[in-house]
Amino acid sequence: MLVLALACVVAGAGALPAAPASQAGLGPAGLPAVVTDPVDPRLAFTQDRDELASALVRRVDLGEGGPYRYEAQPTSGDVPLDDDAAAHTGEASGRTGVEAGFPAWVSTSGGDEDGEVWVDPPDPDSPPVRVTCANDDVETHPVVSPLGDAVAYASDAAGGWDIWVTPLGESWSGCTDEEPLPAVRITTDAAADTWPAWALLGSVLVFSSDRPDPGAPPEQAGAPTLGDLFGVEVDLVAGGEAGLRRLTRGPDADTQPAVLPYGDDVGPIHVVFTTTRYRSDGSLASLALPDGLAGGAQPEVVPLWVGPEGGAVAQPPSAEAAFAPGGAELLLTTTRDDRFGDVHVTRLVRDATTTPVRADAGSLSPVAAVPGVAESHGAFLGAFAFPDAGQAEARVLVTRRSHDADVADVVAADGRDRRVVGASTGTAAGASVRLDDVGPAYSPDGAELVRAVGDLDPPAPSLPAPGYRLVRAAADGSGAAPLDYAREPGDVDVDPAWSPDGTRVAFVRYRALPGAGYGPARIWVVTLATGDTVQVGEPPGQPLLEHVDPAWSPDSTRLAYSRLTPPTDVAVAVAATPATVTSGSTTRIDVTVSASGPATSVDVQVGFGGLTLAPAATLPPSCAAVDDGAVCRLVGLSGAEPLAFDLTGVTNGPYTVTASAAGEARDARPANDSASTVVTVLPVADVELALSPTTVRPSGAVTATVTVAVRGGPTRVDLQLDVPAELSLSVSEGSPCTVATPPRTARCPLPVVSSTPFELLLTVRRAGGADTQGTVSVRAVPGAGGIPDSASAELDYVPDPGPGLAARTGAGSAFDRLATTPAGRTAASLVGLADAALRAAAAGAGLRRAASAGAPAVPAAGGVALGALVPARFVPTDPATAELHVMDAAAGSGDVTLTDPSACDGVEGCSPVPLAGRHPDWSPDGARLAVERDGAVHLVALAGADGPDVPEVVTAVTQLTGLRPDGTPTASRASLSVTEDPSWSPDGAELAVAGQPAGQPDQRGIYAVAPDGTLLREVAQSRAPETEPAYQPFVVVDEPPDDPAADLAVDVSVDRAETWLGGQPVVATVVVTNPTGPDAATGVVLTLAYPPSATVAPDPACPPPGTACALGTLAPGATRTLTATLTFPVPAPPDPPSLEQPEAPATETGQVRASVTSATPDPVPANDVDTADVTLQRPTLRLLPAVSRPGAVVLAYGENFPPGAAVELEWSQGITVDPGPAFVDADDRTVRFSVLVVRRDRLGQRTLDATSPDGLFGLVQGDLLVVPRSASPPELIARG
């Protein structure tokens, strides 16, 4: 078969011509020089760019030590490295020490396409410097040690992924290409070791690895290792894996560890990491190592998030944890609200230092959350600082997609010859700016390419944003020009799809609305010949539905797409009026519950936080009382509904009133489903003063009785009593009061005062002075910001009475006065005093500082992001319910909802469940749809043997990538944790996907996988993110059939190439194959030949003598394996025995030869014959001398024996005194052994028999003639 690429080659790079007036803002295309298309088909994709962005996170204390609200707002000027030419700048880490540390990141700045590690020195005057230089290695996720003296990172410098550390010297000049800094390899295993995290002040590194687990249960044997956590001690001198300990184990993927920073090197190790234990797309978990790496039991792993009072909650999708210095907060990446990823912050909870940290599920708040912008890998640049009371701020870095992407392509088969084929520019404020080129789609003949180009930033403050429009160009990028079709200014047209018949392009449009904003997504189709542009598939009466991801059927008649149903966004807000009250007073709690979207019933739970329903107050009609609160059921809520609660508190302190709401379906933004407010109850002091008596003469004294009580106590009270200059104060021993000098003021700190009155007695003396009046006053100030109270009493000064005066004075006289209370002081006036204090607080003079002018609006509890400095690439609001549909491409009629066949599974009366999925792509044969769901690719089989019927019916759904519902991984899951944007190859042999390498920072690349999930291969993976792949179409041309041919091949092997006579057999294996066909081989005959000395036991397929084997027919790819056993027996000894000694050892070399023939022609005869050599060794044994007398010793000398073999020796007749064994010299293969001929033993001929106790050789004999002691060999010879 011949594969032809139908790619049009256009000479010269065209420029993007001026757009119509309605399309102002698009400028010339910045295209590279033309590269002639190779013969091989290509694959295009969106080539994005990463950059660092910064934000300010504000923590607002809603009470004394919590709860907290988090607010965030983007900042500018805080990014340590800003290089628009760099394809990738990101993966930042922040301060890992409590008091030390500085940021590190990876960047391709300077033209290094693999990227290098950079750090920002602590000296504000020092520029960023490189830590790695002059290498072709890839480094990821660098982290500076807690003491700031080293940087750890993952690198493939040794071929695989390992953890490396570069020590930092005192000089901050960094490295250069000529003088790189030395690095120490910490991990050395062949597995992939990634994502280091420092612990114990830099003495330990925690990391993730896919090393096999020797302790895994048998049922997990052979399954791919998705990742476990390990700890290793850091030795910067020797390197290596000192003190290595496995921290987690099991079939789940445990990756991306973060370690809680501690200020010492002996404390426990707290780790938060990403895992698939609780959801297939990953969430955060926590473990604690109380004794560091010092062994002990396997640590307990717990889910990170807990609900109120530690209750279990659903774990949100989350990854890439990063602690704040001090460990009170955690940054993380989540796709909960945006499938592209956001960075959030959450508040941590620690009950003890030896238990795993947990996080408050209600505190999860966005930090960087621009819709449609991929934001990830958050890092704290420092600890929370306190610029204002009750409020703390911290700066963070995140990695985000820049959205000035290009369209690039590579050869689809192997990823070579990468080039840019779409890079447009525009003009804003008189300067050239890069535009966003995204979503490539080829014409059906492969000659052209259409893409979306645009920007959501207005070119000037007074002008609207240009939006996105479709641009058409040759496949190599030349001749780019705006597509001629109907479009309103500001429309956002994206996701083009070219019809297989070449006549139309479908795309998604977000219509620009007057003033601001965009309408819901709709699918439009433009006819290329006329420019007619029509909307297809308007959902009647459902304006909130959105249609996205169009994909053509192979016959160009139907469009598959995703229908997004934005879920109802249930939100709740809580406000208290007033927020500060006195004990026993009433506050109005207004709970506002809203639902935007389809009407839904909402359950609301209100927690009073310790406050109680005010006397005579009633609950709203839809609510019922429960312990410490109320529950409410709002039926069919659409819009907002207020609920009011009149509450009161008695005891002083802050009370947190909470409200949470839950609709019947998944909520669009769970972050606003709960809210809280704090009501502060202030204590109120009641003080009274009585004087007895009420008159005093010179040098006289009276008793002052002070009675104080606190409504809303108990609390501390500071009491102060004052008298005028002519009076003085004194107290008895043991009194809590202290009298000042001069003694006109007494201060009495009372540690605990409650509603039970507390009484104090003081003595007031008169020194002299005129006979008038004096005022004694007292002031009581309760703690906790309470409302003070004052009282006073008048004391009449009288002259020293004479005798008569004393007698005349009696009961009822003008001087006999009752003890007084402050005039006009009533309960109502006390409340009025408290109200005045509250009014002063509201005016800015009281409890909380008011926000300054221009400060951002305070969001509801839970936090919101306050805007962005970079616009979003336009995407629908997430999350949304995505259903797969198919409709007629001409008018949108005949809409079919695809349903999941497994949902009902034959249950009668079961309602079909819509099939969820995004980005459908139709297979070339029309029988399947590839879709993305929860970060994995699934294949949807449609009914009909020759393609789908209309209406389409789903017969099966098969998961291709990711983790299956039962937790088992697919073939590619060990390599890719997320797969998106599936795209079929034109021949249906594979699918291209945008894949996220497992365990790595956000680093999407283009990969290809077979339709059965196997044969994963990398197509394009650089440091810049690559997404939205599209194959260049090609056609398969059927050539006339060739003559039958079968490329037979034969292979011969032996299990041992050398053996000894009479020793071990040789097994010859002959493999006959028809590996590539292309046709079956008929009449296959195998012919064999063997060494001449061999005795052959042939294969059953080869009748004796085993030299010819009829194998019949071998199909393409078929294999036949035959074996033959060769033995080499020892020949029988001569009879009669001979005295002739062998002259030299003998070695025989032979071959096992195999040749194969067939009745089918063989196009490659060279591989039809094969041989294997076999060497046969013949050992010999000589006796020196060959004639001997009884009582003499002869030397047995053997040659050509197996090296190192044992040799046992025995006379064939006579007495053997020492049979050995003797051992063969390993170098020269000889054996020497002295043998005794026993006195008076038998005379005549005999042999010395050598045998192998191990069967390595057969019988070997040496001849000897034993003669009488009176005869000499010469005489005997003479007599003969």
pLDDT at 1253 over 60: yes
pLDDT at 601 over 60: yes
What is the per-residue pLDDT for 540?
A: 59
pLDDT at 2 over 90: no
The answer to whether the CB of 1201 falls within 8 A of the CB of 1207 is: yes
**DSSP 8-class letter at 1092:** T
Amino acid at 981: D
Residues 250-288: tens digit of each pLDDT: 889 999 999 988 766 667 889 999 999 999 889 999 999
| Cα 226 to chain centroid, rounded | 12
pLDDT at 873 over 60: no
Q: Return the H-helix or E-strand segment holding 837.
A: helix 827-840
More confident residue, 519 or 1178: 1178
More confident residue, 1140 or 333: 333
Q: What is the mean pLDDT of the chain?
A: 82
pLDDT band at 379 (very low <50, low <70, confident <90, very high): very high
More confident residue, 911 or 941: 941
pLDDT band at 871 (very low <50, low <70, confident <90, very high): very low
Question: What's the rounded mean pLDDT across residues 1211-1215?
Answer: 89
d(CA 870, CA 1021): 26
List b or e across 502-521, with b for residues whose CB sees 16 or more CB atoms inside 10 angstroms: eebbbbbbbbbeeeeebebb
Residues 112-148: tens digit of each pLDDT: 888 999 998 888 788 888 999 878 899 999 999 988 8
N- to C-terminal Cα separation, the chain: 87
Q: CA 1083 → CA 271, 1043, 1073, 1106, distances in Å?
A: 68, 17, 14, 18
Map tokens 């979306």 to a residue. 452
DSSP lists the bridge partners of residue 612 as: 648
Asked: is 50-217+224-401 a CATH 3.90.180.10 domain? The reply is no
pLDDT band at 1129 (very low <50, low <70, confident <90, very high): very high
Question: What's the rounded mean pLDDT across residues 295-310?
Answer: 84
990: helix, strand or coil: coil
Burial class (CB in 10 A: 0-12, 13-18, 19+), 963: buried
Question: What's the rounded mean pLDDT across residues 1208-1228?
Answer: 90
pLDDT band at 859 (very low <50, low <70, confident <90, very high): very low
pLDDT band at 69 (very low <50, low <70, confident <90, very high): confident
699: helix, strand or coil: coil
More confident residue, 2 or 367: 367
What is the per-residue pLDDT for 298?
A: 87
Q: Return the H-helix or E-strand segment holding 634.
A: strand 629-648
What is the per-residue pLDDT for 176?
A: 83
pLDDT at 338 over 90: no
List b or e across 984-1008, with b for residues whose CB sees 16 or more CB atoms inside 10 angstroms: bbbbeebbbbbbbbbbbbbbbbbbb
User: Torsion-angle region of residue 193: left (phi > 0), alpha (psi -120 to 50) or beta?
Assistant: beta
Phi and psi dihedrals of 813, rounded to 5?
Answer: -75, 170
d(CA 103, CA 96): 9
Question: What's the rounded mean pLDDT across residues 1155-1169?
Answer: 92
The highest-level CATH class for domain 1049-1177 is mainly beta
- The answer to whether domain 50-217+224-401 and domain 1049-1177 are alike in fold is no
Phi and psi dihedrals of 828, rounded to 5?
Answer: -65, -40
pLDDT at 561 over 90: yes
Domain positions in the chain? 2-49+403-565, 50-217+224-401, 586-665, 917-1037, 1049-1177, 1179-1279
Residues 671-710: tens digit of each pLDDT: 788 899 999 999 998 999 998 898 888 888 899 999 999 8
3 state SS for 248-290: CCCCCCEEEEEECCCCCCCCCEEEEEEECCCCCCCEEEEEEEC
What is the per-residue pLDDT for 26?
A: 27
List b or e across 448-466, with b for residues whose CB sees 16 or more CB atoms inside 10 angstroms: bbbbbbbbbbbbeeeeebb
pLDDT band at 65 (very low <50, low <70, confident <90, very high): low
pLDDT band at 857 (very low <50, low <70, confident <90, very high): very low
308: helix, strand or coil: helix
CATH number attached to the domain at 1179-1279: 2.60.40.10
pLDDT at 1190 over 50: yes
d(CA 232, CA 196): 10
d(CA 143, CA 152): 5
Structure tokens at 1097: 């036991």
Residues 426-470: tens digit of each pLDDT: 887 778 889 999 999 999 999 999 999 998 877 766 677 889 999
List b or e across 235-253, with b for residues whose CB sees 16 or more CB atoms inside 10 angstroms: eeeebebeebbebbbbbbb
What is the per-residue pLDDT for 81?
A: 81
Residues 504-547: tens digit of each pLDDT: 999 999 998 887 778 889 999 999 999 999 999 876 566 668 89
Task: Kindly give, in sequence order, each residue whose CB lies less than 8 Å from that of residue 1135, ignoring residues fewer than 6 positions away.
Answer: none
pLDDT at 387 over 80: no
pLDDT at 1259 over 80: yes
CATH topology of domain 2-49+403-565: Neuraminidase (2.120.10)
What is the per-residue pLDDT for 25?
A: 27
pLDDT band at 30 (very low <50, low <70, confident <90, very high): very low
**Which pTM value belongs to this model?**
0.63
Q: Which of 280, 874, 983 is nearest to 994 (CA)?
A: 983
Q: Do you find a cis peptide bond into 32, omega within 30 degrees of 0?
A: no
pLDDT band at 665 (very low <50, low <70, confident <90, very high): low
Phi and psi dihedrals of 829, rounded to 5?
Answer: -70, -30
What is the per-residue pLDDT for 268?
A: 83
What is the per-residue pLDDT for 842?
A: 31
Percent of the chain with pLDDT over 90: 48
Question: What's the rounded mean pLDDT across residues 1216-1233?
Answer: 91
More confident residue, 13 or 1037: 1037
What is the per-residue pLDDT for 1276?
A: 43
